Structure 1
Amino acid sequence: MSANLASLYADHLDTLKRRADEALQRGGFDALVVPSGRLHYQVFDDRDYPYAVNPQFKAWVPLVKLPDSWLVYVPGQRPKVIYLQPFDYWHVVPSAPSGDWVQHMDVVVIRTPEEALQHLPKDPARCAILGEAQSTVGAFAPNNPPAVVAYLEYHRAFKTPYEVEMMRAASRIGVRAHRAAERAFRAGASEFGIHLAYCQAAQQDAIDLPYNNIVALNEHGAVLHYTDRDRLPPKPVRSFLIDAGAGHVGYACDITRTYSHDTGDEFQALIDAMDVAQLRMCDQVRNGFDYRQLHLDAHLSIARILKDFGLITVTPEVAVETGVSSAFFPHGIGHGIGLQVHDVAGFAESDRGGTLPKPEGHPYLRLTRTLAPGMAVTIEPGLYFIDMLLEQLKDRGLGPSVDWGRVDAFRPFGGIRIEDDVVCTDAAPLNLTREAFAA
């Protein structure tokens, strides 16, 4: 860790301590106790599911593969990490604690999960214990007190400078892998082959990525969460949509790009129009701007593109009012991002709880808060040719609003989605994705 990054991490910890102090006071607790998580095993089997670290744990320390360990924080004291390093010749054992984080923590190495009880606070009832029920050891069972969780999750939306640097590093990895995926697509690889090229370039296995890669050729681009990955490429190959991320010490990037096989065809022109509109949307990530309005503005922008390309016969305004635009753009404009791809508290009214509603008629929006400096969000407009949604327009009597001949011409290409990770600042937005592509 560089001197500058070490300083940012120290400041990050100070921020976490202040947040924890307030959260514990609100909940009436003396200590914050966070298990790192435990392996899940498949029913009637001895195979475990891929381990996923508790986000509340990795917020404090850059450790993502350390099951059955604990973070303990008591206001006014140094945080403690109870670090499981078992005697085990069947599996790779975590290496000895190392890195700049160690100097900020009291670190205790244990050899069995049960040994943690010797180092946890004396009274579990006075602890806010954040985690899964299966992380229980002895009397220390996660209680996830709402007042504590609400406060910590609400403020997790505001990234510290250290966290922005971690997301920037994740973005660089993701962009490197996206470039490899495009090369594989241009070389004629299958969806599965493109996925493997992506993982190789990211140097992350599928289970290490922050979410399941969406690698879609042709019509598969119209399936929003397509993850089947055919082993043979279609004939002919027309288009490629990839929604894939990468991780760095527990922080995620989330990037989507769409390509036409023929860079001079009309589908590429449609992609280019979406790209211009998406950049304008990214520029709306400003202090004080309601993210719900950004979503509604995106519908109007996409409706204008639909009109420009002759896909609809009504005005953009009418397309939005009648729900025609939603048939082409059925998901939300984006979500929070950070320690989790779909970061928490997207609907939180305040750090005491409450819910901010979604705009009427837009059930899939994942973030309804007003933007403020430090908030990191994705901006991912889409334009798809989804048969079932288009047929519903006919059922609602809105068939004349669409030029079906034009739609038929684009159906074989599936759809378009373009996604960047953007940080709100006091001034212009910081687009981590475009920054990484420009490097």
Structure 2
Amino acid sequence: MRPADPATLYPQHLAVLCARADEALSRSGHDHLLIPSGRRHYQVFDDRDYPFAVNPHFKHWVPLTQVTDSWLVYTPGQRPKLVYLQPFDYWHVVPEAPSGWWVEHVDVHVIRTPEEALPLLPGPPSRCAILGEAQSTLGAYQPNNPPAALDYLHYQRSYKTPYELALMRQAQRIAAHAHRAAERAFRAGASEFDIHLAYCAAARQDATEVPYQNIVALNEHGAVLHYTQLDRDPPAERRSFLIDAGASCCGYAADITRTYAADPGGEFQAMIDAVDAAQQAMCAAVRAGADYRQLHVDAHLALMGILREFGVLRVSPEAALATGVSAAFFPHGLGHPIGLQVHDVAGFAASDRGGTIERPPGHPYLRMTRVLEPGMVVTIEPGIYFIDLLLDEVKANGHADAVDWARVDFFRPYGGIRIEDNVLCTGDAPENLTRPAFVAQ
């Protein structure tokens, strides 16, 4: 199946955003929506800037991720307006004139200095809902982030338009291609650092362009959930490889994790296969009406069943969950919303008027608590880890008898297992956005 063309989908996407903005402004009591792209942040006592991250609300409207000091302006009943900074600058590359599938649908005004935006912004500022960080303030136009508008817009961002899904599928293809390159580098004996370089080269994205810092972990480093140290030299023995790495497409993120064993016939590979099968069943449960909190609890039971099968647990999955032992082996949440941001907004939103759906007791790191609905995209990333700090807590809490420590010692040098796909909830069977991207490689 040929990928959808974003150019044909963008007008409908823009119409959806205008309708959402109309409602958000009505709720907040403002006349205009202003979204600054953002401004560069500089290191303290220096003139070196940090990597720029565009305002996600800005790139929701236009596929621009590297333009600073620009503004998206929307007034109900009018075409969206882009105030686009194209500075006179010989220190940096000047952004090219706006072009692409979206330009004909917005009114573009090119400025040469940030201050030239002021006469192009509607007023007075008090009548504007301005979404952004305080550093984006320009004159009297200071971001006010009205809660009534943000609650509504963040909640609605959970429902992806066909345009957004087209870009997210493309991000999946880029990331899957790079994951294949990373696996080849691992099989060839490369170091963590060199695997990371192979990934970035295949994705054609550097460390500031991928949506988050690559996690490239060999052996016991896989037990560090956000391992980004990247050893420069390969280990004396290759046992396992965990990679959590994504890619970006026009500001939309892919977030994919895979785990590999050096020995394809060993027990650790068998455990990876068991987690992979369980993970695919969890992806199949991403259905409209499913409570993500229950999916998370069910994931605990499934993973503890695997540990029981492999002789690591001596108690039932239910007992491991009830006593907190399961959290020592699966300490993070099942996943999170994904889209314009890797950990996208409104994962806990009770409604489009605010409020929070609390996490289940004993699961403080779950990033999604909502009931699934068509249009939502979530990650499904179960994991099993052998983390000394957490295993010591199992002993300290009086549950040492629940675990076969000899089996823990066997698996500890492998670090851990995590398998992650990005899944679209539909009105029928879910669509796994990630698996087809790997098949296409």
TM range (shorter): over 0.9
**Structure 1 position 362, deviation (Å):** 0.3
Counterpart code for 1:91: H
| C-alpha contact (below 8 Å) 2:5/2:166 kept by paired residues | no
The answer for unaligned runs of 5 or more in structure 2 is none
The answer for unaligned runs of 5 or more in structure 1 is none
Residue 212 of structure 2 aligns to a residue in which SS? coil
**Structure 1 position 144, deviation (Å):** 0.5
Cα distance in 1 for partners of 2:227, 2:198 equals 18
Q: How many residues align?
A: 438
The C-alpha deviation readout for 1:114-149, integer Å capped at 9, x for no partner, is 000010002110000000111111111100001101
> RMSD in angstroms over aligned alpha carbons?
0.9
Identity level (%)? 70
**Structure 1 position 3, deviation (Å):** 8.7
Cα distance in 1 for partners of 2:89, 2:201 equals 29
Residue 295 of structure 1 aligns to a residue in which SS? helix
Counterpart code for 2:405: W
**Structure 1 position 4, deviation (Å):** 4.6
| C-alpha contact (below 8 Å) 2:4/2:166 kept by paired residues | no
**Structure 1 position 5, deviation (Å):** 2.7
**TM-score relative to the length of structure 2:** 0.98
| C-alpha contact (below 8 Å) 2:58/2:72 kept by paired residues | yes
Cα distance in 2 for partners of 1:5, 1:80 equals 20
| Corresponding residue for residue 175 of structure 1 | 176
**Structure 1 position 237, deviation (Å):** 1.0
Cα distance in 1 for partners of 2:242, 2:203 equals 18
| Corresponding residue for residue 411 of structure 2 | 410
The C-alpha deviation readout for 1:194-224, integer Å capped at 9, x for no partner, is 0000000000010111000000000000000
Q: Does 1:362 align with 2:363?
A: yes
| Corresponding residue for residue 88 of structure 1 | 89
**Aligned runs of 1:368-407 on 2, under 5 Å?**
368-407=369-408
Counterpart code for 2:29: G
**Structure 1 position 227, deviation (Å):** 0.3
Q: Does 1:299 align with 2:294?
A: no
**Structure 1 position 6, deviation (Å):** 2.1
Q: Which runs of 4+ in 1 moved over 6 A?
A: none
Cα distance in 2 for partners of 1:52, 1:269 equals 40
Counterpart code for 1:51: F
| Corresponding residue for residue 436 of structure 2 | 435
| C-alpha contact (below 8 Å) 2:35/2:131 kept by paired residues | yes
Residue 77 of structure 1 aligns to a residue in which SS? coil
| Corresponding residue for residue 194 of structure 1 | 195
| Corresponding residue for residue 228 of structure 2 | 227
The C-alpha deviation readout for 1:93-124, integer Å capped at 9, x for no partner, is 11111112111101000000000001000211
Counterpart code for 2:437: A
| C-alpha contact (below 8 Å) 2:6/2:167 kept by paired residues | no
**Structure 1 position 438, deviation (Å):** 1.3
**Aligned runs of 1:314-393 on 2, under 5 Å?**
314-393=315-394
The C-alpha deviation readout for 1:151-195, integer Å capped at 9, x for no partner, is 000110110011011100000000011000000000000000000
| Corresponding residue for residue 155 of structure 1 | 156
| C-alpha contact (below 8 Å) 2:307/2:313 kept by paired residues | yes
The C-alpha deviation readout for 1:261-295, integer Å capped at 9, x for no partner, is 11111000000000000000000100010000000
Cα distance in 2 for partners of 1:122, 1:289 equals 45
| Corresponding residue for residue 29 of structure 2 | 28
Cα distance in 2 for partners of 1:435, 1:20 equals 34
Cα distance in 1 for partners of 2:274, 2:227 equals 24
The C-alpha deviation readout for 1:375-423, integer Å capped at 9, x for no partner, is 0000000000000101111111100000000110000000000000001
Cα distance in 1 for partners of 2:266, 2:235 equals 19
Cα distance in 1 for partners of 2:42, 2:142 equals 19
